[in-house]
Every structure is written in structure tokens, then in C-alpha cells.
């Protein structure tokens, strides 16, 4: 954070802020060992209220600074950007604070409650957003009533609960329009949540995968409830600690009904563990999943006994299956064998996984080719059409790879 202003403040607010900072600096050096538990309890609450009052002053100053276009003389694109640069707030936090500062300008009673420390800044944000989200046709009187109602409820509920009450405020004040408006807001919220859905996983290279996700809350509840049940001590879990929930998630994955797995590329999205016969019989050679992940021989042997895991035992030339011309399309077992062998699309330079591929007859079925693993290969949806396109030639390369080029 930048150093304090070098010019002596002249405005009363500026003078008092400078004095308060000096007094707080002195307070921060005062030991607390002699404070009684009762005093500590009361002062902790009072300090929270003091922070709320400071938040109101900060937001009111931010709104004034924005009107004065603070920072533009130094080349900042906005006051929020100047604020972030000077204080090391993130751009996102500065923009969020500035948005609330501007919104409070139109909600004097909310700003006054915050200034008195009766509500907290996150509660003020919820109240302002809830009132501003009401349709204009309900009128200013109903909006004022909604604001006052939520201010009263803020004395009993935190911001999270207050947000729920804000969604249903019209059902309390104007039941004739409240239900329809609540439904509209919920539908809009659900659409927004679905549009923001994200899921990422990252392998750290040391045997652990980390992930983040954003999904609609009603969908998250479908995950949270069974995990809570699996994590419960009475079910043998370790409780709802981060570690306990992590173990419950592993158990949840192990229990997922394999008959309900989705189809991908003609196969169930089932994990395939590949090992040698030696490993299966107790050897020490590492095994692999069809995703390429190496696993210990002990884990491979355990997984070979699990539901939802297909063990592929290799021996000799690793030729898993060949059904000749008994059927036109490759079987699930053949596709698994090709997925293990090829690892994905066999076109040179293509990194599409096996789940995105079709099984292809390297010797055309129409010309007497057999439906086999040996003379089959996986081609993704981009390359498979080229194998049958009269304008392209498919060239075979050592190692089972192929490439395509246009005919002259």
C-alpha cells in the first residue's frame, strides 16, 4: 500500500481519518493480557461494528471519488482502477466495492444503518441487490417496504440467509405478484448458474489430482447429500472434515452404478486397467489405466476385482481378441482392446482420446476385411470421414499410425 499523504489534511473527514489511524496504531501496540473474557467478548462485537462503520465511510468516499474522477489525472482508466493500484486491492474487489458504493447512493436508509454499525457491508450489498432486482411495476412504495423489511431481518440473519429472504420478499409484502416474481428470479438465477458451470482437474505429477468446479447449487446438493452420508462417522466415515469428505468422494466414485455409465465412442465410460499376466499373478511390474496413468501393481490387482473396472491382461503379442467376419461392427471388448493399444486416434499428430473415436476397418469390410483388433484402428470424428472420402488417400506408417492427403 502506498505511503500516507504528505500534505496536511484540511477537510474534517480527512483530519479525523488521519487521527483515527494514529489512534489505532497506538491501540495495536496495547497488550490484551489484562482484558477479561467478558470485555473481550463485548469488544470483539464492537470491533466488528466499528469495521462496518469504517466500511460505510470507505464506500461513501469511493462514490465521491468516482464523481470527482479521481485518478484520471494520473492516467487511470477509472477510479476503481486507481483505487486498486494504490492499495493493492484486486481489480475485481475494487470494482465490486465501487459498484456497491454507487448503489448505496440510492438507498439512504441502508447506508445510514451501515454507518451506525447496525448492519454489515455484505448484508448491505444483499439488501441493495434484492431491492434493485424487484420489477419496476411494483412501485416505489413496495420497494421501500421491501428495503425496510430486509433491514429489520438483518438484525437476525447473516448475508447468506438474507439473500434467500430477499428472493421471497415480495411473497411477504405483495403475495399477488410475489410468487410469479420469485419464480422469474429463480429461473434467471438457475440459467445464470448453468451458464457459469465449470469443471477442471489438474494432475500435479505426484499421484494427486486437484480440481475446481462451479455448478448450480441444486445440482451440488445431489453431490453433497450422499457425500455427507458416506462421511458420517456412523457409516464408518471420518466426518465432514475436508479429509473425510475427500475419502467420501473416493467411496462415492467406487460405488457409482456401472450400468448407468454414459456411452462414449461406442463404449461405457469405464476405466480400463492394463497389466501383464505376471502383474496379475503377483509380479512387481507397474500397470496402466487406459488414460495413461501408471498405477502400482497392488492397486492394479485390487482394481481388477472392482465393479466398474475392466481388467485387460496382456501376454505374448498382446492380441486380445479377433472375431473374424462373424459380425460387421466391432464389439465393446474389441474397442477396449484397440483403445488400450492405440491410446486414441491413430492419425499422425492427432491427440483425440479413444472415447472420441470410431472403430475403423483398416481393410474395408466391403472388400472382404475382417472385424478384428489386429486389422482395426481408432479414428476420431475428424479423421474417420477422410478414410472413406474418395478425394483422400490414407497412408499407413510403422507403429500403426496413418496419415491422409488429397489425391492429385
Domain that holds residue 270: 264-314
Nearest to 141 by CA among 179, 184, 110, 170: 170
305 backbone dihedrals φ, ψ, rounded to 5°: -100, -5
Q: Give the C-alpha separation, 15 to 22, whole Å.
A: 11
| Domains of the chain: total | 4
Number of Cα atoms under 13 Å in the Cβ half of residue 402: 25
Residue appearing with cell numbers 470494482 = 95
Domain shared by 141 and 170, yes or no? yes
The pLDDT of residue 228: 77
Q: Give the C-alpha separation, 50 to 58, whole Å.
A: 12
Is residue 361 one of the residues assigned to a domain?
Answer: yes
Query: What is the enclosing helix (H) or strand (E) of 358?
Result: strand 357-361
Q: Give the C-alpha separation, 238 to 244, whole Å.
A: 5
Helices (H), 91-241: 91-104, 108-115, 121-132, 139-153, 159-167, 169-173, 175-195, 217-231
Domain shared by 135 and 272, yes or no? no
Domain shared by 246 and 344, yes or no? no
Is residue 207 one of the residues assigned to a domain?
Answer: no
Is residue 84 one of the residues assigned to a domain?
Answer: yes
Domain shared by 251 and 381, yes or no? no
274 SS3 class:
strand
Grid coordinates given for 279: 502383474
Domain shared by 159 and 297, yes or no? no
pLDDT tens track, the chain, 408 positions: 545 555 677 898 888 888 888 888 888 888 999 999 999 999 999 999 999 999 999 999 999 999 999 888 778 889 999 999 999 999 999 999 999 999 998 899 999 999 999 999 999 999 999 999 888 877 888 889 999 999 999 999 999 889 888 877 877 877 766 666 666 766 777 788 778 888 888 888 888 888 888 887 777 777 777 777 777 775 566 667 888 888 878 777 766 655 555 555 444 445 566 666 565 556 666 666 766 666 676 666 655 554 455 555 555 444 433 323 334 456 677 777 788 788 888 998 888 877 778 788 777 654 556 667 777 888 887 888 788 777 888 898 888 889 988 887
Number of Cα atoms under 13 Å in the Cβ half of residue 217: 6
Number of H helices, E strands in the chain: 16, 12
The pTM assigned to this predicted structure is 0.50
Residue appearing with cell numbers 464523481 = 67
The pLDDT of residue 367: 59
Grid coordinates given for 37: 473474557
Is the alpha carbon torsion for 14, 16, 22, 27 positive or negative?
Answer: negative
Domain shared by 397 and 351, yes or no? yes
Q: Give the C-alpha separation, 114 to 52, whole Å.
A: 6
Q: Give the C-alpha separation, 73 to 82, whole Å.
A: 10
Neighbours of 68 (CB within 10 A): 10
Paired residues of 405 in beta bridges: 393
Q: Give the C-alpha separation, 297 to 323, whole Å.
A: 30
Is residue 6 one of the residues assigned to a domain?
Answer: no
Domain shared by 44 and 103, yes or no? yes
Q: Give the C-alpha separation, 165 to 171, whole Å.
A: 10
Distances in Å between the Cα of 304 and the Cα atoms of 107, 243, 247, 294, 308 are 64, 26, 21, 15, 9
Q: Give the C-alpha separation, 9 to 110, whole Å.
A: 29
**Sequence-ordered list of residues with C-beta below 8 angstroms from that of 306, at least 6 positions apart, any chain:** 254
Domain shared by 240 and 269, yes or no? no
Paired residues of 264 in beta bridges: 267
The pLDDT of residue 2: 47
Is residue 210 one of the residues assigned to a domain?
Answer: no
Q: Residue 155's Cα: distance from chain center in Å? A: 32
Domain shared by 163 and 246, yes or no? no
Is residue 219 one of the residues assigned to a domain?
Answer: yes
Residue appearing with cell numbers 492394463 = 274
Calculate the dihedral angle through the C-alpha atoms of 205, 210, 211, 217, rounding to the nearest 10 degrees. 170
Domain shared by 287 and 397, yes or no? no
Q: Give the C-alpha separation, 313 to 273, whole Å.
A: 8
Q: Give the C-alpha separation, 163 to 129, whole Å.
A: 9
Query: What is the enclosing helix (H) or strand (E) of 301?
Result: helix 297-303
Domain shared by 80 and 109, yes or no? yes
Amino acid at each position: 500500500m502506498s505511503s500516507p499523504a504528505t500534505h496536511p489534511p484540511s477537510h474534517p473527514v480527512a483530519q479525523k481519518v488521519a487521527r483515527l489511524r494514529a489512534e489505532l496504531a497506538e491501540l495495536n501496540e496495547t497488550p490484551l493480557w489484562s482484558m477479561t473474557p467478558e470485555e473481550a467478548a463485548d469488544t470483539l462485537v464492537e470491533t466488528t461494528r466499528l469495521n462496518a462503520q469504517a466500511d460505510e465511510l470507505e464506500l461513501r468516499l469511493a462514490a465521491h471519488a468516482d464523481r470527482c474522477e479521481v485518478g484520471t489525472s494520473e492516467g487511470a482508466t477509472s477510479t476503481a482502477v486507481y483505487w486498486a493500484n494504490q492499495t493493492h486491492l484486486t481489480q475485481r474487489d475494487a470494482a465490486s466495492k465501487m459498484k456497491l458504493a454507487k448503489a448505496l447512493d440510492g438507498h439512504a436508509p441502508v447506508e445510514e444503518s451501515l454507518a451506525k454499525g447496525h448492519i454489515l457491508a455484505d448484508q448491505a450489498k444483499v439488501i441493495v441487490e434484492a431491492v434493485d432486482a424487484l420489477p419496476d411495476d411494483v412501485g416505489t412504495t413496495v420497494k421501500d417496504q421491501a428495503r425496510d423489511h430486509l433491514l429489520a431481518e438483518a438484525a437476525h440473519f447473516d448475508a447468506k440467509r438474507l439473500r434467500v429472504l430477499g428472493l421471497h420478499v415480495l411473497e411477504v409484502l405483495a403475495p399477488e405478484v410475489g410468487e410469479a416474481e420469485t419464480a422469474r428470479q429463480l429461473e434467471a438465477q438457475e440459467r445464470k448458474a448453468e451458464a457459469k458451470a465449470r469443471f477442471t482437474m489438474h494432475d500435479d505429477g505426484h499421484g494427486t489430482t486437484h480440481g475446481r468446479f462451479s455448478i448450480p447449487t441444486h445440482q451440488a446438493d445431489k453431490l453433497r447429500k450422499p457425500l455427507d452420508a458416506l462421511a458420517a462417522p456412523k457409516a464408518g466415515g471420518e466426518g465432514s472434515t475436508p479429509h473425510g469428505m475427500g475419502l467420501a468422494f473416493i467411496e462415492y466414485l467406487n460405488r457409482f452404478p456401472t450400468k448407468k455409465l454414459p456411452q462414449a465412442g461406442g463404449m461405457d465410460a469405464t476405466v480400463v486397467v492394463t497389466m501383464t499376466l505376471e502383474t496379475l499373478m503377483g509380479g512387481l511390474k507397474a500397470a496402466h489405466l487406459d488414460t495413461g496413468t501408471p498405477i502400482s501393481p497392488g492397486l492394479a490387482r485390487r482394481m481388477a476385482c472392482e465393479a466398474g473396472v475392466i481388467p485387460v491382461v496382456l501376454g505374448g503379442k498382446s492380441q486380445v481378441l479377433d472375431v473374424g467376419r462373424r459380425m460387421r461392427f466391432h464389439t465393446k471388448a474389441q474397442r477396449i482392446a484397440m483403445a488400450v493399444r492405440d491410446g486414441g486416434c491413430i492419425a499422425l499428430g492427432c491427440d483425440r482420446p479413444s472415447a472420441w473415436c470410431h472403430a475403423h476397418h483398416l481393410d474395408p469390410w466391403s472388400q472382404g476385411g475382417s472385424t478384428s483388433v489386429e486389422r482395426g484402428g481408432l479414428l476420431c470424428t475428424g479423421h474417420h470421414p477422410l478414410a472413406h472420402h474418395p478425394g483422400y488417400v490414407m497412408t499407413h506408417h510403422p507403429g500403426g499410425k496413418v496419415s491422409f492427403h488429397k489425391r492429385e
